[in-house]
Structure formats: structure tokens, C-alpha cells
Amino acid sequence: MPYIRVETNVALSKSEATDLAVLLSKDVSELTGKPIKYVSGSVLQDIALVFGGTSDPCAQVYLGCIGVLGKEKNVEISARIATRLNEALKVPSDRYYIYFCEQERHEVGWNGATFAK
């Protein structure tokens, strides 16, 4: 059930945003060991967003996941996200935060129930 969401003030075409969402979803699947069929991702681009008081290119990232996240894993994921955002958005790694949110099975709904069932 991992979910990755990137918000950025960088303008992208719909195709570029979709391609980045797909790449990040595959990265999250690989790094968490969760099947890609349960990973969702979104890229919200060209939004009003500031970091450090300026509107220079920046982003914010949210990653929610059941299990897996933790001290060492978050460092690994952070490094991969930094590479992707630098390549796709040209946003330096000191111009965004990544929020890692460990979720409990009962906190995520899917298919008319929760993962706790």
C-alpha cells in the first residue's frame, strides 16, 4: 500500500509528471519489497510552493507505507528520491523535505475494508 506524493513548483507536462510518478512508484516497490500493484504515486506540479522563503525550484514529498520504513530504510529511500528529483525536476536535495509516515494496517482503507480486515 505504499503511497508516494511529490508536490513541486516546477512546471512539467502531464506526460513528464506521469513518467516521474511511474519511476518513483517502481523505486518504492523495489525499495520496500511491496508489489507494484499496491503502490500508488502522484506528482502535483506547477503549484504555489515556497521553501526557505523563496519560490526557487523546490518540492515536498510524502511517503506512507505499512511496515518497512525505519531509520536505515528511510536513508536508502531518501537517496533514491534525491536522485529522481534532481534528474526530473532539477531540484537540489536541500530544497525539499521527505515525510516518512509509517502506517498501521487498520489506518489504510482498501477494497471496502482496511488492510487489518
Question: CA nearest 48: which of 7, 13, 85, 9?
Answer: 9
pTM equals 0.92
Concatenate the DSSP letters of all residues of 13-35 into one string. -HHHHHHHHHHHHHHHHHHHT--
Q: Which one is catalytic: 2, 35, 57, 92?
A: 2
pLDDT in tens, 11-62: 999 999 999 999 999 999 999 999 999 999 999 999 999 999 999 999 999 9
Hey, what's the cell of 16? 513528464
| Per-residue pLDDT, 107 | 85
The tens digit of pLDDT for each residue in 62-114 reads: 999 998 999 999 999 999 999 999 999 999 999 999 999 988 889 888 888 88
Active site residue 57: no
